[in-house]
Amino acid sequence: MPPHPFALVGSGAPQPCRPHPRFLVTRPQWATLVESLEVTPEVAVLGLWGDPALVHAVLLDEATGRFCIASAPTADGRYLALSPVRPGAARFERMVQDLWGLVAEGAADLRPWLDHGRWPVTAPLAARPAPHAMPPPQPEFLPAEGEGLHQIPVGPVHAGIIEPGHFRFHVQGETVVRLEQRLGYLHKGSIGLMLGKPARVAARFAARLSGDSTVAHGWAFAQAVEAALEVTPPPRAIALRALMAELERIHNHLNDWGFVCNDAAFTWPHARCGALREGVLRAAAVAFGHRLMMDRVIPGGVSVDITPGGAAAVGAALDAVAAEIPTLLAVYESHASLQDRVVGTGVVDAGLAARFAAGGYVGRATGRGFDARAMPGYAPYPELQPQVPVLTQGDVDARVRIRIAELEDSLRMARALLAGLPPGEVTVALPQRGGEGLGITEGFRGECLHHVVLDDGGLVRAVFPRDPSWLQWPLLEAAIEGNIVADFPLCNKSFNCSYSGVDL
Amino acid sequence: MQSLRRLMWPRLARSLFATPLTDPPPVVPEELVQALADRLEESSQQRLGRSLSIRQVDAGSCNGCELEINALNNVVHDLERFGLRFVASPRHADVLLVTGPLTRNMREALERTWACTPDPKWIVAVGDCAVDGGVFKGSYAVEGGIGAALPVDLVIPGCPPTPTQMLEGLLALVEAQSRPAGR
């Protein structure tokens, strides 16, 4: 019986990461870790990334709420794969191979992921990237065999106003037998651009990892930098961050709720949600000078204080949303044509969500009640006591209902924050020194993790931003299996995974 | 009360007599219209009339621009009242509305989309990234703006531009269609 993963990792050499520890383990210890993970299902692998000569994995013990990072050296650019025991690691391993050139031995899948063969270099983040001039290869898809099967290729350019990605459906008649996603079209090289920059400059890339989660990602990055430098932002900045984060959750949940109804050809809720969301965005623009509140969260605090008229504008927008939710919900629940489309569609199995450690409404709709605001928790949420709604059905309807419950709780918290904004400064100066930190916040989609290492001059030496979609996208492939092709937009919208967030 | 809430028709009926939620149209800058009309004349393109079909293509954005483009469709901005509408295929489009710094991984897809779009056609670059790569300029993975691959007719800068700014630009295109070039 191998030791518990946390005991094993904790026996490695401690590294100066705050507030969650990081340990450097040996290659044999990493191999034991893989065995240990196999028999310890409550320990989740939330992310895996590289360094020129190391691999790092973030682990969460769901039984105790502890986080840690395990780092292991690679030998000849190779390390032992985690994907045989944690299927969610597979896409990370493919990404690590494409960006750092590190190969996961024994991996479930080693086809290229982000690298479509169109960059001028291979392994751009390796110590020595190699020039690349070959024509791009044809992508290979997993096969599906049987009588009457055919393929439907969709994308990268889709029919709606959404991000690009390729979906390869294998279908039999109307029924989807297998869906495989091929992403990476949005790879912008964000990590490479963040390296060597001061923390506040690098924060602009964190804010543009996924525009719909700009506050959540900006906050997680800021948290990591602040932990690294051991600074605490002023109380007013923390309250304003939470207010912006809840406004972000409200406008995105409204958007998704409306779009799910729209994809079931029921347009009235979409029109109403759109109008309410526009009100929230306008209030955000009045209060913080930007509709999406981009670049408002910066390491050390927030870049702007709320304007004098901001609180009233936000309050009015929140009142309008609160007043209409009961009607929208009654209409959503009582129209058979809509319920028929969402109930029982795109079911995610609870066991699968747990194995992939899927966060956000994807996990919470199927029994995995993880919310970073509650675990590990961060200021100011312990005072606000966020409710974490959990359902077990795992279908499109459950994912919508989790959003509605969160919408109502966010309204409560945003109003409480507005009513009790502490006075004082909104930013502190950042000392110019080195350090290492891990930031974790709960965006509307799920938990956003940012690991940052600053050198002695305060410049970013290593960074990895992990969007929650990494562990949710693969479940969409499972959710659509056995459903009809026509229900794919509905399932996809109920997940609403970020393309840009995982394409880096 | 609960049973009344479930009914949609009283709400729909009430909205027949309520004031519209829609914003008044934005003021379109005269210089922009004239510049576009001149460009149209130079390229001796056929006129498309006062209606444009738009195909949106994300060529690498962070999805911030997509959020705001989607907002153009809501009841407050109500794009369709101006004769503008989003279509599902480039084969139905007069305008490609392109966002993002143009990633190398999207270049071929964008060029193929452009090739599918029937003449006469326009290309509008939306957002700071689409103009010249924005913050992503210089990365190994981006071309540095839509202009690196396609002839851009109109740029709408901003990070992201607001729906009102986008509406101004698109309305300038419509105006330019319906007037002779000045010279």
pLDDT tens across B128-152, in order?
A: 999 999 999 999 999 999 999 999 9
Domain co-membership, A249 together with A368? yes
CA distances in angstroms from A462 to A13, A191, A224, A401, A480, listed in the order given:
19, 8, 12, 39, 37
Domain carrying residue A297? 193-465
DSSP state at residue A41: T
pLDDT band at B43 (very low <50, low <70, confident <90, very high): low
* pLDDT at position B4: 67
Structure confidence at residue B10 (pLDDT): 82
Q: How far is B71 from chain A (nearest CA, A)?
A: 7
Q: For residue B69, what are the β-bridge partners?
A: none
Round the average pLDDT of chain B to a whole number and report it. Answer: 89
Q: Where are the alpha helices (DSSP H) in A11-139?
A: 27-38, 89-100
Q: What is the CATH number for A28?
A: 3.30.460.80
Are B103 and A255 an interchain contact pair (Cβ–Cβ within 8 Å)?
no
The answer for A 125-154 residues in CB contact with B (under 8 A) is 129
Write out pLDDT tens, residues A287-325. 999 999 999 999 999 999 999 999 999 999 999 999 999
> Smallest CA–CA separation between B70 and chain A, in Å?
7
Nearest CB partner across the interface for A185, out of B21, B106, B159: B106
Residues of B with Cβ-Cβ distance to A333 under 8 angstroms:
6
A-chain residue closest to B97, CA distance: A161
Contact B143, B111 (CB under 8 A): no
A179 located within any domain: no
| B180: number of Cβ within 10 Å | 9
Query: Is residue A225 in some structural domain?
Result: yes
Closest Cα of chain A to B86: distance in Å? 8
Q: What is the secondary structure of B37-70 as a DSSP string?
A: HHHHHHTTPPP--S-EEEEEEESS--SHHHHHHH
Q: Which of B11, B59, B105 sits opposite A184 (nearest CB)?
A: B105
Cα-to-chain-centroid distance, residue A485: 26
> Once rounded to an integer, what is the mean pLDDT over residues A59-84?
95
Q: Verify whether the Cβ–Cβ distance A278 to B139 is below 8 Å.
A: no
Q: Is the same domain home to A19 and A119?
A: yes
Report whether pLDDT(B45) > 80. Answer: no
CB hemisphere CA count around B9 (13 angstroms): 0
Do A257 and A400 share a domain, yes or no?
yes
- A210, A103: one domain: no
Q: Report chain A residues whose CB lies below 8 A from the CB of B62.
A: 208-211, 214, 500
pLDDT-based confidence at B183, cuts 50/70/90?
very low
> Given an 8 Å threshold on Cβ–Cβ distance, is A255 in contact with B101?
no
Distance from CA of B177 to the nearest CA of A (A): 25
Q: How many domains does chain A have?
A: 2
- In a 3-state reduction of DSSP, which class is residue B33? helix
- A chain contacts of residue B85, beta-carbon cutoff 8 Å: none
Q: Do both A357 and A438 map to the same domain?
A: yes
Give residue B47's pLDDT. 65
Q: Do A303 and A443 lie in a common domain?
A: yes
Does residue A243 lie in a domain region? yes
What are the φ/ψ torsions at residue A130 (nearest 5 degrees)? -95, 140
Residues A208 and A111 in one domain: no
Is the domain of A216 the same as that of A335?
yes
Name which of A415, A446, A499 is nearest A253 in CA terms.
A446
Claim to verify: residue A119 and residue A229 sit in the same structural domain? no
Query: Cα-flanking dihedrals φ and ψ of residue A18, to 5°?
Result: -125, 155
Of A124, A155, A185, the one marking the end of a domain is A124
**Residue A501: closest C-alpha in chain B:** B62
pLDDT at A133: 85
Which of A74, A100, A124 is where one domain is finished?
Answer: A124
Cβ contact A276:A254 at 8 Å: yes
Four-residue CA torsion sign, A363, A368, A369, A372: negative
Does residue A182 form part of some domain? no
- Mean pLDDT, chain A, rounded, equals 95
8 Å CB contact of A208 and B66 = no
Binary contact (B141, A124; C-beta < 8 A): yes
Asked if the C-beta of A325 comes within 8 angstroms of chain B's C-beta atoms, the answer is no
pLDDT confidence tier of residue B55, bands split at 50, 70 and 90: very high
Instruction: Please tell me the predicted confidence (pLDDT) of residue B7.
Output: 76
* pLDDT tens for each residue of A439-492: 999 999 999 999 999 999 999 999 999 999 999 999 999 999 999 999 999 999
Residues A113 and A224 grouped into a single domain: no
Is the minimum CB–CB distance between A110 and chain B shorter than 8 Å? no
> In one letter, which amino acid is A488?
F
Please check whether residue A323 lies inside any domain of the structure. Answer: yes
Q: Which of A124, A154, A171 is the last residue in one of the domains? A: A124
pLDDT value at B120 more than 60: yes
Residue A438, in any domain of the structure: yes
Q: Are residues A414 and A296 in the same domain?
A: yes
Distance from CA of B181 to the nearest CA of A (A): 33
Does A339 reside within a domain? yes
In a domain, residue A259? The reply is yes
pLDDT tens per residue, range A189-207: 999 999 999 999 999 999 9
Statement: residue A180 has pLDDT above 60: yes
Give yes or no: residues A270 and A371 share one domain. yes
Can you give the CATH number for the domain in which A402 is found?
1.10.645.10
- Structure-block tokens of residue A362: 């994807």
